[in-house]
Amino acid sequence: MTGKVSGSSISVHVEHGGKTIDFSVSVSLPRGASGPVPAIIGLGGGSLDRSLLAEEGVATISYDNNRIASETSRSGLFSNIYGNTGASAQVAWAWGVSRILDVLVDERDAGRNDIIDPTAIGVTGCSRLGKGAFTIGAFDERIALGIPHESGTGGVSALRIVNTNPVGPNGKPAQSLSSAWSEAQGWFGTVFGNYRSNVNVIPVDTRSMVAMYAPRGFLVLDNSRIGELGSIAQHAATAAGGEVYEALGVEKNVAYHGGRPSDPHNHCQFYPEQAEPLRRAIRAHLTRKADPDGRMEPQPVATADLAKWIEWDTPTLE
């Protein structure tokens, strides 16, 4: 695997088993950037306020995840290399980001990357791309900050709570697992089809993926006004995974923001109320200008009662 880093793009070349693929991602540096700067990888470009990111000295990297794997057919550059593995498109998207990180690290070590700091990388996306961002950060420990935005079912939402059919303020229930499976099977691995109606037998849940981030930075941006997003299930998974952060003594490294308390509730809109949680996360985990100050801030209409789900006491881990 080889690649190049410039102020406008990162190219990736992979050879494996006699097969090769190439892809690239675009880079936008903050004005006046000097030396290696932090960056946030945005699936589909991302949904965050780019002016805020630039003000904080953070570059943006636009990632065309569907070129790596289609969310409907799971085909793409990943399957060109590995064939039909049954892995979800989300896992393929994570593989692609890991190759970008490989290039950033290798080129830095070779003295050819003084542009992007590979130790200060975040990942984000909204809706289906928020699902991908969640998975990407969980599976590569080099991601310093995960920011899934309104990811819903197939993303941060706890599977067990989604199956209780919670209803939001707009009168709509959380998207069911069967509906998500029908909309885009690539969000899941093929084996998941056997468990859509019986998630309680799976020994893990999305809280376990939140825990995979620990002790790294993790910020969930949600929208409790949209019932289909199952915000109560997202808050529950974040808070339950946050118990692992607490056990490690780094509970301020995880945060959740439930969005606005009232309408409008436009999907994938970054709200001004979420600017400060985002700034706090960036300054703690990317620019490292401040101590972590993550906060659990669900809206009252979508606040999970963990006592209904957790039957254990949080230990102290070393």
Closest C-alpha among 282, 237, 3, 304 to residue 124: 282
Reported pTM: 0.97
CB neighbours of 71 closer than 8 A, spacing ≥ 6?
89, 128, 184, 186, 187
Q: Is 315 a member of any domain?
A: no
Strand-pair partners of 13: 2, 22
Q: 128 Cβ partners below 8 Å, 6+ apart?
A: 71, 154, 184, 187
pLDDT confidence of residue 262: 83
Tell me the pairing of strands 254-257 and 217-221.
parallel
Residue 243 lies in a domain: yes
Measured between alpha carbons, how far is 225 from 128 in angstroms, rounded to an integer? 18
Sign of the Cα pseudo-torsion (180, 184, 189, 191, in order) = positive
Q: List the end-to-end C-alpha distance of the chain, in Å, as a whole number.
A: 36
Closest alpha carbon to 241 in 269, 270, 264, 212 = 212
User: Of residues 47, 88, 127, 157, which has the active-site annotation?
Assistant: 127
Does any domain span residue 318? no
Instruction: Burial-class residue 199 by CB neighbours within 10 Å (0-12, 13-18, 19+).
Output: middle
Tell me the CATH number at 148. Answer: 3.40.50.1820
- Where in 139-279 does DSSP place strands (E)? 143-149, 217-221, 254-257
CA distances from 195 to 97, 144, 203 (A): 28, 32, 12
- Residue 311 covered by a domain: no
Rg (CA), the chain: 19
Catalytic residue status for 267? yes
pLDDT of residue 52: 98
Determine the structural domain holding residue 60 and report its residue range.
2-306
User: What separation in angstroms does the CA of 75 have from each of 11, 23, 140, 161, 290?
Assistant: 21, 15, 22, 30, 42
- The per-residue pLDDT for 35 is 87
Q: Is 316 inside a domain boundary?
A: no
**Do the domain assignments include residue 81?**
yes
Q: Is residue 90 part of a domain?
A: yes
pLDDT of 80? 97
Tell whether 314 is covered by a domain. Answer: no
The pLDDT, as a whole number, for residue 41 is 98
Q: How many domains does the chain have?
A: 1
Q: What is the pLDDT of residue 51?
A: 96
d(CA 74, CA 214): 29
Mind listing the pLDDT tens digit of every residue in the chain (318 residues)?
999 999 999 999 999 999 999 999 999 999 998 889 999 999 999 999 999 999 999 999 999 999 999 999 999 999 999 999 999 999 999 999 999 999 999 999 999 999 999 999 999 999 999 999 999 999 999 999 999 999 999 999 999 999 999 999 999 999 999 999 999 999 999 999 899 889 999 999 999 999 999 999 999 999 999 999 999 999 999 999 999 999 999 999 999 999 988 876 789 999 999 999 999 999 999 999 999 999 999 999 999 999 999 988 889 887
pLDDT at 280: 98
